Amino acid sequence: MTDFALTTDRIQQQLEHLANADAHVRAAVTLVGFPEERRRGRDFATMLRVIVGQQLSTKAAATIAARVETLVGLPVTPERVALVADADLRTAGLSWQKITYVRSLCATVADGTLDFDALPHMPDAEIVSAITAVKGLGVWSAHMFMMFSLGRTDVWPVGDLAVRVGVGRIVGLQDRPGEKAVEAIGERWRPHRSAMALLAWHYYANAPL
């Protein structure tokens, strides 16, 4: 369970397998092609950037993350973050709420609740529990880490609006489906739901309306 299995080649293989049995998947791939892998680090610094980037544009998130990293110093570790005053993090661009989240992240790492070395070896449900123990990180954040940092192949992020819209369009629904509906739709795509989530994002961004 430690290898990154959500590579571009494997995504294509998994979607080709699904397309052989599902006309909706086949039509979607024919229209927009295959999505590529997305890969991030599987460490504290990555999770810190997740918090920094919440509800921000990509450009704004990158700017503030760079300021925080300059302030903290490299490598970015919980110990180094702990030495930085809240006021300095605020000056770097973090909201007071996000500073609370950063402190919670440091605390859960310090007490062993969130162990980045152990995460690759843990079942999906335990990973979700460990990450959501951090204040400000929900199931969606856990799902993104599982897909893009750990490369898990059967993650189904129904909490993501673009995934729900993309799935609805792929299967030809008139109205945007809710989380429960997309959860049920996704059952047919086990155990390759991460690849389908990537296809849903890809379809949402590229398919003509």
pLDDT of residue 96 exceeding 70: yes
pTM of the model: 0.91
All domains of the chain in start order, with CATH: 8-38+154-206 (1.10.1670.40), 44-148 (1.10.340.30)
pLDDT of residue 153 exceeding 60: yes
- The pLDDT, as a whole number, for residue 99 is 97
Compute the mean pLDDT over every residue in the chain, rounded to the nearest whole number.
96
Average pLDDT on 129-137 reads 96
Average pLDDT on 3-18 reads 96
What is the band of 167 on the pLDDT scale with cuts at 50, 70, 90?
very high
pLDDT of residue 1 exceeding 60: no
Percent of the chain exceeding pLDDT 70 equals 99
163 Cβ contact list (under 8 Å, min separation 6):
157, 182, 197, 200, 201, 204
pLDDT digits (tens, 9 = 90+) for 76-94: 999 999 999 999 999 999 9
pLDDT digits (tens, 9 = 90+) for 12-66: 999 999 999 999 999 999 999 999 999 999 999 999 999 999 888 889 999 999 9
Question: Of 172, 161, 151, nearest to 26 (Cα)?
Answer: 172
- The pLDDT, as a whole number, for residue 2 is 66
